[in-house]
Copies of this chain bind each other. A is one copy, B any other.
Amino acid sequence: MNRSVRSQPARQGDVSGFDGLVFRPRSDTPIWQQIYDYILSLIDSGWLQPGSQLPGEVHLAEKLGVTRITLRRALQQLQQEGHLTSRKGVGVFVRALPSALVVRDGSRFAESLRADGKSVTTRTTFLEAEFADAAAAEHLRLPPGAPVIRLRRVRAADGQPIHISTKVFPAALLPDFETVYSRRQSVTDVFIAHGIQKYRRLETRISGGFATPDEASLLALTPGTPVFRTSSINTDANGNRLEWGLGCWLLTSVDFVF
């Protein structure tokens, strides 16, 4: 019996590793939970590697000797916890859960991941000059319609995205934002280029919510998965508001430390 469910882009034939299971109906724990435990153990033990595809629900349900609905109950739980993702018309995939430490102002986020030996990548998905909407104006203490820069990025650890950030900057204070950022891909470098060596975290807010379809797609999650939402404001040494940031984090992957 070949149990390899790793390696390769994963084919539909890779149903091995799911054979010979016996689920006791009407025991103390429901069948779907037994399946949940089983699949989770396959992930934890490495039988199912991050990125690999599960067999189709119909095949798998048959293999496990249960209805598709019962199987889906288990898969759903695993998705809510971030262990699996499903893409309609494609399949169900294993999703790694790198655990990150976010210290205080979030600046050490990447460092704490790298300290764990993880490779951190940052992808800029949006960078444009705009005019401040009501929320941005309010948070940056600007008149509505003032020119701002809007930046969206996705951060990933070992290829698994775990953080979306949307930041808004007052264009008046950072006239060269776009040119410097496009060259360095670093906000800190933009600040330095404008003579801002130190900035201060004025406020951080953390709340909870559920991933919108957009967020879910960027984070490789199923919509409705619970997430952290953060909102923060940075000022320069004189108290001028430099940055308003919104963050969306995978709930089960982050630890905020203050």
Contacts and interface: CB of A to CB of B under 8 A. Distances in A.
- Count this chain's copies in the assembly: 2
Interface string A228-248: 100000000000000000000
Contact of A255 (B81, B207, B255): B207
Contacts of A69: 69
Given A206-B206, A208-B208, A209-B252, A224 B257 contact: no
B224 A255 contact: no
Contact of A208 (B203, B204, B205, B226): B226
A205 B256 contact: yes
A254 interface: yes
Nearest to A104: B258
Interface residues of A, number: 22
Contact of A251 (B81, B224, B226, B258): B226
A20 to B, nearest CB: 29
B208 A254 contact: yes
A77 interface: yes
A205 B257 contact: yes
A228 B204 contact: no
Interface string A27-56: 000000000000000000000000000000
Interface of A: 69, 77, 80-81, 203-210, 224, 226, 228, 251-252, 254-258
Closest 10 pairs (CB-CB, A-B)? A208-B251, A226-B226, A206-B256, A204-B258, A207-B255, A205-B257, A258-B258, A208-B252, A206-B206, A205-B255
13 contacts: A77-B224, A80-B80, A80-B224, A203-B258, A205-B257, A206-B206, A206-B255, A206-B256, A207-B256, A208-B208, A208-B251, A226-B226, A226-B251
